[in-house]
C-alpha cells in the first residue's frame, strides 16, 4: 500500500513537471484591523522557482510567511482561508507548526547566522530535530549541506570559527546551508540578495538555480531582473491582491493586466 | 517517611522513568514512518513530568491544608503526615509513570506537554512579583486595621503629639500612649525638603553640563564617579551624617553662636541630598538627551548661545520630565531609612527649624519594631500603619512620576 | 564695520549695541558653564570628603596594639600537682599569670582599684592566648617568655593617638595614672602594633579590641546566597516570560506596571513584609539568613527583572526568526539562542542587584538580624547579622574604639561592593555585543 503510493508519487513527479506542491485557496490575512492579503489564491509548482514581485507593502512577504506559519509569531495576526501542502491544510488543527517549518525552510532578507561557529550554525537544525543519530552522521549532514550551498571550499578549514565572521554573501549562503541541513522540501526566500553586493548576489542566484533540482523555491524579490533571471513562475502582488501570476517569460513580455505592465516598465513601484 | 527520603525515592523513580521512556520511545520512533518525530529524550522528560507533577501538586495541597487552622486543632496530623501522605505521593508518582509509559507512541505531541509545563512555570514565576505587592498591601492593611481598633483614626492623622513609648507602662494614666503622626510627617517633609534643596540644583546642573558641555572623555570619567555616590550603602551615609556632618554643623554653630544640635534635620537632609544627587542627575541626563536635536539646531540656527539654548529651549522642553524625575527623587528621600535612623532624632518635635532635631516616619518604624515586643500592642501595630502611609505616598508619587515621564517621552518619540 | 547705512538688510548684526550685547551674552555663557562645572565639582568634593572621613578614621582598625610582657608560666598556677593533666591545664587561672606579670612590671601599684585599672591595660582575651600556648606546648610550664598580648581598647586608642592628652583629667576616659604606665611601656618598647587578624577571623564582641567582622561576613554570604538562589531564577523566568511569551493582555500589563512600582517601594517596607509573612505567618527562624535572604530576594527581584528584560530585548529579532525558520519552537528559540546571548547582560544586572542587597540595612532590622551575635553562623538557619547591620550596631556603640572599627568595617564593605561592580563592568565590557 505504502510502496504503491510512493510509486504513484514518483510517476507523477516524472510525468508532470508542473505538479502543484502548494495550493492556496482564498487566503485573507489581517494584522489587527488591517487586511494585508485579500483573497489570494496561488498554486506553487514543485521543483521550480516561483518569484513573488510587487511594490513595497503589497503583501508578498506576508504571503511568503503564511506558507511556513511564521505569521503565527506576530501578535494580532489572523489568517483565513486554506493553504494546502501536499493536500493537507497547514492551518488545520492537527498540524504542528514546528514540524511544518522543518519541512518548509526559510532564508531571510538580512543574513542572520547565529553568533556561533559555522559548524554549530548548520548543526542546530539537525540537533533539535534529531536528524543525526551520532556525531559522524551530524558531520556528514553539515558537510553535505555546505557542499550543496557551494560554501564548502571557502570554509572547510575554519568550520569552528564564528559564522558572523564571514562576508555578507558567505553568511547568506551559510543561512541557506543551514536551511538545507533540515532537509526541507520547500525553501522560502525573503529578498535574500537585497543586502548583498552584485558579485555575492550572482553567486547566491547561481546557487538558487542549482537548488531547484531538488527543492521547491519561492522567492520574494524587489528586483524584476532577478525574478526574470532565475524564476520559472512569477506572481505579481499589488495592494494585498494577486494581480497576475503565471510563467515568468509571459508575465514579463506580455502582461495581461495594465498594473503589471505599469510595474514592470517602472511606472510605479 | 520524612521529606528527604521521599524526595530521593521520587527522584529515583523519575530517573528510571526517564531511562525507560526514552528507551521505549527510541524503539517506537525507529519503527515510525514519519520523517520527523519527537526526540527520545523528550519522551523521557514527558515521563518524568508525569511522575513528578502529581506528587508536587499533592505536596502543595498538603502544605496549604496544614496552614489552615483546622489541621492544627486535630492532633492526628502526625500520623497522617508520616504514613498516609508518603504512600499517597508514591502512588501518584507510580500511577503517572505507568500511564505515561503506556501512552508513548511516535505521534504523541510530547513537546507540547513539556513546553506547556515550562510555560506554566514561567507564568508562576511572573506571578511572584504580583504576590509580593499583594503581600505588602495585605499585611500592612491587616495590621493597620488592628491598629485603628485600638487608636482612633482621627488621632493618628490629626494628632500633634507622638509618644508611643508611654504605652509600655500599663499602670500609668493615659497608658495607651499618644499616636498623633503629624510631627512625623512634618519631620519627614522637612528633611526631604532639605535633601531636595541639595540634590535638585546640583543634580540638574551636573546633568546639563554633562549633556551639553562636557567632552565625551570628561563624561566617561566623571559619570562613573558620580555613580559611586549612588552605590555607597545608606548605612555608610548614616555614619557619615551622624559622626562627621552633624558634629561639623554643631561646631560651626558653636563658633558663630547659633545653637545647632548634632542630630539636626540639616545634617540628615544634606547627607540625604548628597546620596540623591546621582539619582537626579542620571534621570535628568536621560530626559535632556531625549530633547530632540532639531530643537537645539533651531535655536543655534538663530544665533543663540549654548546657555541661552539650555535655558530658553531645552529646560522648558524638558521640564515635565524633570518634574517627574524630581518626584521620583522625593519618593526616594521619603522612604530612605538608615540616614535618618542614624543621624536624626527619635523625639517627635513639631518644628520647621532645620537646626533642631526632628524625627521621620521611617525612624519611628524602626524604633517601634526593633527589639522584642508583643506583636499585637498598639506600639508595634502603629509601625504598620506608618508603613502603609509610607507605601501609599511613595506609590502615588511613583505612579504620577512615571505617567508624567511617559507622557513627556511620547511627545518626542 | 561702519557702513551700516549702505545696506538695509543685516544692518544691526554688527552694530556697537549688538556687539556690546554679545560680549554680555558671552560672559553669561561662561558663567553658566562654570556653574555647571561647579555643581559637578561640588558633588565630587562631597564624595571625596565622605571617603576621606571614612578612610582616615578607619585605616587604623586593621592594626591593633599589643603589650609585650614577661610572662612566667608558673607551675604553681597552671599545674599545682605537677600531673600535666590536660583538664587541669585547661581550667587553670591564666588571668593570674597576666596579672602577676603586670605587677612585676609596676611593683609600686597598690590598692584594689588601682590594681584593677592596671589589669585592664591588657585585654581579657590574653588568658585565652596563654591557655592556647600552654595546651600546644606544655613544655612552657616553668619558663618565662616575652609575649605580646592584646591590649585593652583604651590602651589601643591612646597608642593610636585618638585620646587628647590635653583634656582635663575628669573629662578624659583614660586617666593620668594609666597614661603614665603607658608612657613607661612605650619607653621600654613594650607597645607594638600588629596586623589585626582578629578583625577578619572573629565574630562580634562587646570588647572593641576583640570584635571582628567574620561573623557578619559569613552572615552576608549566606544571606546573599539565598537572595541569589531565589531572585536570579525567578527574575530570569519572569523576564523571559514577559519579553518572549506574554501575549499583550490586561494581566500582563498588570505584571509590568507592578514590577516598575515594586522597584520604587522603600526598602523598609520589604522588611515589614518579611516580618509579617516569613516570621509571623511562616514561622521561619528570627535573625536567620534564610529570612534575610528571602526578604532581600523580593526586594532585588524587580532590579533583576528590569535588567534581564533590557538584555533580552537587545537580542535582535533576526536571531529568533532564524531559529523559528529552522523549525525550532518558540521556547527552543528562547532557551537555545536568546537566553544565552542575553546572559552577560542579565548577569551584569544580577550582580548590581546583589551589590545593592549586600549594602541594604533597613529591611534586615525589621526581621531581627540586628541582635548581638558573637558566634560565626554555621548555616542559613543560625542567628546571624550582616555587614551593613554590623556597621549600624558598631556605629551605635559608645566606646571610642568602635568608631575606628565601624570605619574599618565600612572599608571592607566598600571593597566588596567595588569588587562586585568592577566584575559587572568587566562582564559588560568583555561580552557586550553590538548588533
Q: Rounded CA gap, A35 and A38, in Å?
A: 7
In this prediction, residue C45 carries a pLDDT of 95
Sign of the CA dihedral with C333 first, then C337, C343, and C349 last: negative
Contact C258 B129 (CB under 8 A): yes
In this prediction, residue B5 carries a pLDDT of 81
CB half-sphere exposure, C302, CA atoms < 13 A: 21
Contact A99 B40 (CB under 8 A): no
Instruction: Take residue C154 and report the three cell numbers written for it.
Output: 583604651
Contact B391 C266 (CB under 8 A): yes
The parent domain of residue B38 ranges over 3-108
B216 and B349 in one domain? yes
Q: In chain A, what residues touch C330 (CB-CB under 8 Å)?
A: 73
B187 and B291 in one domain? yes
| Closest-CA distance of chain A to residue C294, Å | 36
The residue behind cell 540586628 is: C370
Residue B4 has pLDDT above 50, yes or no: yes
In this prediction, residue A233 carries a pLDDT of 93
Q: In chain C, what residues touch B133 (CB-CB under 8 Å)?
A: 258, 261-262
Chains in touch with A (≥3 Cβ pairs < 8 A): B, C
- What CATH number has the domain bearing residue B291? 1.10.3720.10
Confidence category of residue C37, pLDDT binned at 50, 70, 90: very high
Contact status of A88 with chain B (Cβ, < 8 Å): no
Is B100 inside any structural domain?
Answer: yes
Q: Rounded CA gap, B113 and B104, in Å?
A: 13
Q: Which chain C residue's Cα is nearest to A174?
A: C322
B84 and B222 in one domain? no
C77 close to C97: Cβ distance less than 8 angstroms: yes
Confidence category of residue B240, pLDDT binned at 50, 70, 90: very high
Contact B111 A130 (CB under 8 A): no
Single residue among B73, B108, B143 that ends a domain in this structure: B108
Residue A1 has pLDDT above 50, yes or no: no
Of C233, C261, C365, the CB nearest to B370: C365
Higher pLDDT: B83 or A229? It is A229
A51 pairs with which residues across the strands?
A: A219, A234
Best of A99, A127, A133 to disrupt the B interface by mutation (most B CBs within 10 Å)?
A99
CB half-sphere exposure, A29, CA atoms < 13 A: 28
pLDDT tens-digit map of B321-366: 999 999 999 999 999 999 999 998 887 888 888 888 899 999 999 9
B318 and B221 in one domain? yes
Q: What are the CA-CA distances from residue C292 to residues A167, C85, C298, C395 (Å)? A: 53, 46, 10, 21
Confidence category of residue B33, pLDDT binned at 50, 70, 90: low
- Residues of B in CB contact (< 8 Å) with A are 33, 35-40, 109, 111-112
Single residue among B70, B91, B108 that ends a domain in this structure: B108
Q: Which chain C residue's Cα is nearest to A188?
A: C325
User: How many CB atoms sit inside 10 A of residue A34's CB?
Assistant: 10
When pLDDT is averaged across residues C401-415 and rounded to a whole number, the result is 93
Reference B270, options C50, C243, C159, C199; nearest CA is: C50
Contact C272 B384 (CB under 8 A): yes
Residue B81 has pLDDT above 80, yes or no: no
When pLDDT is averaged across residues C22-33 and rounded to a whole number, the result is 90
Q: Rounded CA gap, A106 and A192, in Å?
A: 10
Q: Rounded CA gap, C126 and C97, in Å?
A: 10
When pLDDT is averaged across residues C103-126 and rounded to a whole number, the result is 85
Residue B409 has pLDDT above 60, yes or no: yes
The residue behind cell 578612610 is: C55
The residue behind cell 592556647 is: C132
When pLDDT is averaged across residues A14-41 and rounded to a whole number, the result is 83
B189 and B337 in one domain? yes
The domain segmentation of chain A, as residue ranges, is: 2-112+188-264
How many domains are there within chain B?
2
When pLDDT is averaged across residues C111-131 and rounded to a whole number, the result is 85
User: How many CB atoms sit inside 10 A of residue B70's CB?
Assistant: 10
In this prediction, residue B376 carries a pLDDT of 67
Residue A196 has pLDDT above 90, yes or no: no
Q: Which range, A65-79, B149-163, B221-235, has the best average confidence (pLDDT)? A: B221-235
Contact A115 C248 (CB under 8 A): no
User: How many CB atoms sit inside 10 A of residue A149's CB?
Assistant: 25
Is B50 inside any structural domain?
Answer: yes
A219 close to A50: Cβ distance less than 8 angstroms: yes
Confidence category of residue A171, pLDDT binned at 50, 70, 90: very high
pLDDT tens-digit map of C195-254: 998 899 988 988 888 899 999 999 999 999 999 999 999 999 999 999 999 888 888 888
Residue C8 has pLDDT above 60, yes or no: no
When pLDDT is averaged across residues A215-237 and rounded to a whole number, the result is 92
- Percent of chain B topping pLDDT 90: 40
Residue A2 has pLDDT above 70, yes or no: no
N- to C-terminal Cα separation, chain C: 55
Contact C341 A129 (CB under 8 A): no
In this prediction, residue B173 carries a pLDDT of 46
CB half-sphere exposure, C85, CA atoms < 13 A: 9
Residue A141 has pLDDT above 90, yes or no: yes
When pLDDT is averaged across residues B34-48 and rounded to a whole number, the result is 76
Is B29 inside any structural domain?
Answer: yes
Give the ipTM.
Answer: 0.89
Residue A9 has pLDDT above 70, yes or no: no
Of C330, C341, C433, the CB nearest to A73: C330
Contact A70 C323 (CB under 8 A): no
Instruction: Take residue B16 and report the three cell numbers written for it.
Output: 528510571
Q: In chain B, what residues touch A126 (CB-CB under 8 Å)?
A: none
In this prediction, residue B276 carries a pLDDT of 94
What is the rounded average pLDDT for all residues in chain B? Answer: 85
Contact C359 B128 (CB under 8 A): no
| Closest-CA distance of chain C to residue B77, Å | 18
Q: What are the CA-CA distances from residue C102 to residues B190, C122, C223, C257 (Å)? A: 56, 9, 44, 69
B302 and B220 in one domain? yes
- SS3 label, residue A236: strand
Instruction: Take residue B93 and report the three cell numbers written for it.
Output: 508518582
Contact B387 C268 (CB under 8 A): yes
In this prediction, residue A235 carries a pLDDT of 93
Residue B73 has pLDDT above 60, yes or no: no
The residue behind cell 551636573 is: B206
In this prediction, residue A13 carries a pLDDT of 46
C191: left (phi over 0), alpha (psi -120 to 50) or beta: beta
Single residue among B66, B83, B108 that ends a domain in this structure: B108
In this prediction, residue A15 carries a pLDDT of 43
Instruction: Take residue C328 and report the three cell numbers written for it.
Output: 525550532
DSSP C337-387: IIHHHHHHHHHHHHHHHHHHHHT--HHHHHTTTTS---SPP-STTS----H
Confidence category of residue B37, pLDDT binned at 50, 70, 90: low
Q: In chain B, what residues touch C329 (CB-CB under 8 Å)?
A: 111, 115
Reference B375, options C213, A143, C366, C267; nearest CA is: C366
- Percent of chain C topping pLDDT 90: 44
A216 pairs with which residues across the strands?
A: A186
Q: Which chain A residue's Cα is nearest to B41?
A: A130
Q: Rounded CA gap, C168 and C303, in Å?
A: 54
Contact status of C246 with chain A (Cβ, < 8 Å): no
Of B39, B40, B109, the CB nearest to A96: B109
Residue B134 has pLDDT above 90, yes or no: yes
Q: In chain A, what residues touch C329 (CB-CB under 8 Å)?
A: 98
pLDDT tens-digit map of C338-348: 999 999 999 99
Q: In chain A, what residues touch B39 (CB-CB under 8 Å)?
A: 129-130
Which stretch of A149-153, B390-394, C171-175 has the lowest confidence by average pLDDT?
C171-175
Best of A78, A95, A114 to disrupt the C interface by mutation (most C CBs within 10 Å)?
A114
User: How many CB atoms sit inside 10 A of residue C382's CB?
Assistant: 19
Is B169 inside any structural domain?
Answer: no
Is B148 inside any structural domain?
Answer: no
Q: In chain B, what residues touch A124 (CB-CB under 8 Å)?
A: none
Options 3.40.50.11540, 1.20.1560.10, 1.10.10.10, 3.40.50.300; CATH for A2-112+188-264 is 3.40.50.300
Instruction: Take residue A67 and report the three cell numbers written for it.
Output: 506558507
In this prediction, residue B167 carries a pLDDT of 46
| B204 burial level (CB within 10 Å; 0-12, 13-18, 19+) | buried
DSSP B27-72: HHHHH---SS---HHHHHHHHHHHHHHHHHHHHHHHHHHHHSHHHH
CB half-sphere exposure, A143, CA atoms < 13 A: 8
Phi then psi dihedrals of residue C10, to 5 deg? 65, 30
Is B155 inside any structural domain?
Answer: no
Confidence category of residue C1, pLDDT binned at 50, 70, 90: very low
Confidence category of residue C46, pLDDT binned at 50, 70, 90: very high
The size of the A-C interface in CB pairs under 8 A is 67
What is the rounded average pLDDT for all residues in chain A? Answer: 87
Is B234 inside any structural domain?
Answer: yes
Residues in chain A: 269
B101 and B185 in one domain? no
Instruction: Take residue C70 and report the three cell numbers written for it.
Output: 614577661
Residue B375 has pLDDT above 90, yes or no: no
Q: Rounded CA gap, A241 and C134, in Å?
A: 99
Contact status of C253 with chain A (Cβ, < 8 Å): no
What is the rounded average pLDDT for all residues in chain C? Answer: 88
Which stretch of B396-405, C323-332, C424-433 has the lowest confidence by average pLDDT?
C424-433
Contact status of C261 with chain B (Cβ, < 8 Å): yes
Contact A70 C322 (CB under 8 A): no
B122 close to C251: Cβ distance less than 8 angstroms: no
Residue B60 has pLDDT above 80, yes or no: yes
- SS3 label, residue A218: strand
B191 and B78 in one domain? no
B144 close to B384: Cβ distance less than 8 angstroms: yes
DSSP B227: H
In this prediction, residue A4 carries a pLDDT of 44
Phi then psi dihedrals of residue A78, to 5 deg? -130, 135
- SS3 label, residue C72: strand
Residue C374 has pLDDT above 80, yes or no: yes
- SS3 label, residue C195: strand
Amino acid at each position: 500500500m505504502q510502496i504503491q503510493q510512493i510509486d504513484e508519487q514518483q510517476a507523477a513527479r516524472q510525468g508532470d513537471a508542473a505538479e502543484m506542491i502548494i495550493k492556496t485557496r482564498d487566503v485573507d490575512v489581517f494584522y489587527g484591523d488591517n487586511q494585508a492579503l485579500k483573497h489570494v489564491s496561488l498554486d506553487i509548482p514543485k521543483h521550480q522557482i516561483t518569484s513573488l514581485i510587487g511594490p513595497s507593502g503589497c503583501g508578498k512577504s506576508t504571503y511568503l510567511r503564511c506558507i511556513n506559519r511564521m505569521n503565527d509569531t506576530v501578535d494580532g495576526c489572523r489568517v483565513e482561508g486554506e493553504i494546502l501542502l501536499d493536500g493537507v491544510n497547514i492551518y488545520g488543527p492537527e498540524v504542528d507548526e514546528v514540524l511544518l517549518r522543518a519541512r518548509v525552510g526559510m532564508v531571510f532578507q538580512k543574513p542572520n547566522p547565529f553568533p556561533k561557529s559555522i559548524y554549530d550554525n548548520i548543526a542546530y537544525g539537525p540537533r533539535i530535530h534529531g536528524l543525526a543519530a551520532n556525531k559522524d552522521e551530524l558531520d556528514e549532514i553539515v558537510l553535505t549541506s555546505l557542499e550543496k550551498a557551494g560554501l564548502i571550499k571557502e570554509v572547510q578549514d575554519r568550520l569552528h570559527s564564528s559564522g558572523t565572521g564571514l562576508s555578507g554573501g558567505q553568511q547568506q549562503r551559510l543561512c541557506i546551508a543551514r536551511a538545507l541541513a533540515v532537509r526541507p522540501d520547500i525553501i522560502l526566500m525573503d529578498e535574500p540578495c537585497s543586502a548583498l553586493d552584485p558579485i555575492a548576489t550572482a553567486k547566491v542566484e547561481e546557487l538558487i538555480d542549482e537548488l531547484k533540482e531538488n527543492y521547491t523555491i519561492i522567492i520574494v524579490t524587489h528586483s524584476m531582473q532577478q525574478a526574470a533571471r532565475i524564476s520559472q513562475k512569477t506572481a505579481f502582488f499589488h495592494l494585498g491582491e494577486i494581480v497576475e501570476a503565471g510563467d515568468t517569460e509571459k508575465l514579463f513580455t506580455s502582461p495581461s493586466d495594465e498594473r503589471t505592465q505599469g510595474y514592470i516598465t517602472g511606472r510605479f513601484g | 517517611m520524612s521529606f528527604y527520603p521521599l524526595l530521593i525515592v521520587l527522584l529515583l523513580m523519575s530517573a528510571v522513568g526517564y531511562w525507560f521512556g526514552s528507551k521505549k520511545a527510541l524503539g517506537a520512533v525507529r519503527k515510525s514512518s514519519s520523517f520527523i518525530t519527537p526526540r527520545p529524550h523528550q519522551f523521557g522528560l514527558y515521563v518524568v513530568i508525569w511522575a513528578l507533577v502529581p506528587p508536587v501538586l499533592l505536596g502543595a495541597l498538603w502544605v496549604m491544608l496544614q496552614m489552615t487552622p483546622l489541621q492544627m486543632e486535630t492532633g492526628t496530623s502526625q500520623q497522617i503526615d508520616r504514613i498516609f501522605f508518603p504512600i499517597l505521593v508514591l502512588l501518584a508518582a507510580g500511577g503517572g509513570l505507568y500511564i505515561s509509559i503506556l501512552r508513548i507512541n511516535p505521534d504523541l505531541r510530547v513537546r507540547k506537554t513539556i513546553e506547556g509545563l515550562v510555560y506554566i512555570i514561567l507564568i508562576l514565576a511572573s506571578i511572584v512579583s504580583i504576590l509580593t505587592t499583594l503581600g505588602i498591601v495585605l499585611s500592612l492593611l491587616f495590621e493597620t486595621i488592628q491598629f485603628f481598633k485600638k487608636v482612633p483614626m482621627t488621632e493618628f492623622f490629626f494628632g500633634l503629639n507622638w509618644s508611643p513609648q508611654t504605652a509600655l507602662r500599663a499602670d500609668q494614666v493615659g497608658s495607651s500612649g499618644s499616636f498623633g503622626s503629624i510631627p512625623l510627617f512634618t519631620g519627614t517633609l522637612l528633611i526631604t525638603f532639605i535633601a531636595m534643596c541639595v540634590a535638585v540644583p546640583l543634580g540638574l546642573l551636573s546633568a546639563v553640563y554633562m549633556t551639553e558641555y562636557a567632552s565625551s572623555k570628561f563624561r566617561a570619567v566623571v559619570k562613573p564617579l558620580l555613580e559611586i555616590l549612588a552605590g555607597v550603602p545608606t548605612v555608610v551615609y548614616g555614619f557619615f551624617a551622624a559622626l562627621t556632618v552633624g558634629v561639623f554643623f554643631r561646631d560651626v554653630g558653636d563658633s558663630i553662636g547659633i545653637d545647632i544640635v548634632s542630630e539636626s534635620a540639616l545634617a540628615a537632609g544634606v547627607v540625604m541630598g548628597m546620596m540623591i544627587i546621582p539619582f537626579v542627575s542620571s534621570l535628568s541626563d536621560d530626559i535632556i538627551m531625549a530633547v530632540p536635536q532639531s530643537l537645539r539646531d533651531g535655536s543655534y540656527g538663530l544665533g543663540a548661545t549654548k546657555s541661552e539654548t539650555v535655558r530658553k529651549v531645552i529646560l522648558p522642553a524638558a521640564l515635565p520630565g524633570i518634574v517627574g524625575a524630581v518626584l521620583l527623587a522625593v519618593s526616594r528621600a521619603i522612604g530612605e531609612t538608615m540616614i535618618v535612623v542614624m543621624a536624626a532624632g527619635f523625639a517627635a518635635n513639631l518644628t520647621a527649624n532645620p537646626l533642631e532635631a526632628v524625627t521621620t516616619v521611617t525612624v519611628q518604624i524602626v524604633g517601634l519594631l526593633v527589639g522584642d515586643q508583643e506583636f499585637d500592642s498598639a506600639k508595634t501595630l502603629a509601625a504598620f500603619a506608618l508603613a502603609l502611609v509610607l507605601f501609599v505616598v511613595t506609590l502615588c508619587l511613583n505612579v504620577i512620576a512615571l505617567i508624567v515621564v511617559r507622557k513627556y517621552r511620547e511627545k518626542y518619540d | 564695520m561702519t557702513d551700516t547705512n549702505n545696506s538695509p538688510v543685516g544692518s544691526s548684526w554688527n552694530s556697537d549695541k549688538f556687539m556690546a550685547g554679545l560680549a554680555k551674552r558671552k560672559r553669561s555663557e561662561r558663567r553658566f558653564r562654570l556653574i555647571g562645572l561647579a555643581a559637578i565639582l561640588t558633588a565630587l568634593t562631597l564624595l571625596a570628603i565622605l571617603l576621606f572621613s571614612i578612610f582616615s578614621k578607619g585605616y587604623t582598625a586593621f592594626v591593633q596594639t599589643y603589650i609585650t610582657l614577661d610572662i612566667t608560666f608558673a607551675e604553681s598556677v597552671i599545674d599545682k600537682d605537677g600531673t600535666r593533666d590536660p583538664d587541669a591545664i585547661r581550667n587553670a587561672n591564666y588571668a593570674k599569670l597576666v596579672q602577676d606579670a603586670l605587677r612585676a612590671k609596676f611593683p609600686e601599684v597598690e590598692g584594689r582599684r588601682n590594681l584593677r585599672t592596671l589589669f585592664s591595660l591588657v585585654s581579657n582575651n590574653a588568658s585565652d592566648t596563654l591557655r592556647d600556648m600552654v595546651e600546644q606546648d606544655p613544655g612552657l610550664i616553668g619558663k618565662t617568655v616575652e609575649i605580646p598580648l592584646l591590649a585593652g581598647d583604651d590602651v589601643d586608642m591612646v597608642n593610636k593617638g585618638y585620646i587628647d592628652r590635653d583634656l582635663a583629667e575628669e573629662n578624659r576616659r583614660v586617666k593620668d595614672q594609666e597614661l603614665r604606665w603607658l608612657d613607661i611601656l612605650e619607653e621600654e618598647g613594650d607597645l607594638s602594633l600588629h596586623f589585626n587578624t582578629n578583625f577578619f577571623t572573629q565574630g562580634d564582641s562587646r570588647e572593641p579590641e576583640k570584635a571582628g567582622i567574620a561573623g557578619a561576613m559569613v552572615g552576608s554570604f549566606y544571606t546573599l546566597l539565598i537572595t541569589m538562589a531565589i531572585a536570579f531564577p525567578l527574575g530570569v523566568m519572569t523576564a523571559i516570560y514577559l519579553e518572549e511569551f506574554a501575549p499583550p493582555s490586561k494581566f500582563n500589563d498588570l505584571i509590568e506596571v507592578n514590577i516598575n512600582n515594586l522597584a520604587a517601594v522603600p526598602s523598609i517596607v520589604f522588611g515589614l513584609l518579611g516580618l509579617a509573612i516569613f516570621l509571623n505567618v511562616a514561622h521561619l527562624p528570627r535573625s536567620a539568613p534564610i529570612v534575610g535572604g528571602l526578604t532581600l530576594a523580593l526586594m532585588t527581584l524587580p532590579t533583576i527583572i528590569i535588567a534581564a528584560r533590557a538584555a533580552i530585548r537587545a537580542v535582535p529579532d533576526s536571531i529568533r526568526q532564524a531559529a523559528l525558520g529552522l523549525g525550532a519552537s518558540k521556547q527552543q528559540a528562547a532557551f537555545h539562542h536568546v537566553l544565552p546571548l542575553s546572559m552577560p547582560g542579565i548577569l551584569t544586572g544580577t550582580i548590581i542587584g546583589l551589590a545593592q542587597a549586600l549594602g541594604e540595612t533597613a529591611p534586615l532590622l525589621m526581621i531581627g538580624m540586628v541582635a548581638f551575635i558573637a558566634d560565626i553562623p554555621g548555616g542559613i538557619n543560625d542567628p546571624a547579622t550582616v555587614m551593613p547591620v554590623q556597621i549600624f550596631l558598631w556605629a551605635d556603640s559608645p566606646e571610642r574604639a568602635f568608631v575606628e572599627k565601624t570605619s574599618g568595617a565600612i572599608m571592607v564593605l566598600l571593597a566588596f561592593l567595588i569588587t562586585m561592580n568592577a566584575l559587572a563592568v568587566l562582564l559588560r565590557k568583555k561580552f557586550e555585543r553590538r548588533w
